[in-house]
């Protein structure tokens, strides 16, 4: 089964479909959570940008040892 957007499933005219897309498309962000994304998984929360890592906290925990980080406590 191919997953299609909600408006594609409904048989409506082209003008209604265009209006739906115009009002419901996410706008590009200038700042905030949606601006920076994880290079590994694409997540936007718990971003670690220090040292140019640009990965989320979950991915950092998975690859921290490979990157050379170690726990001090």
Prediction pTM value: 0.59
Total residue length of the chain: 73
Measured distance CA(47)–CA(50) in Å, rounded:
9
- Cβ-count burial of 44 within 10 angstroms (0-12 exposed, 13-18 middle, 19+ buried)? middle
Assign domain 37-73 one CATH number from 3.40.50.1820, 4.10.830.10, 3.30.465.10, 3.40.718.10.
Answer: 4.10.830.10
How does pLDDT run across 3-51, given as a tens digit for each residue? 666 656 667 788 888 888 888 888 888 888 888 899 999 988 999 999 9
| Residue corresponding to tokens 């906290």 | 57
- The answer for 32, left when phi > 0, alpha when psi is -120 to 50, beta otherwise, is left
Q: Where are the domains of the chain?
A: 37-73
Residue 65 DSSP label: H
């Amino acid at each position: 089964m191919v997953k299609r957007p909600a408006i594609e499933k409904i048989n409506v005219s082209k003008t209604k479909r265009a209006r739906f897309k115009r009002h419901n498309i996410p706008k590009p962000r200038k700042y905030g959570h949606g601006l920076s994304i994880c290079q590994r998984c694409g997540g936007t929360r718990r971003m670690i940008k220090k040292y140019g890592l640009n990965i989320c906290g979950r991915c950092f925990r998975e690859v921290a040892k490979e990157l050379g980080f170690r726990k001090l406590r």
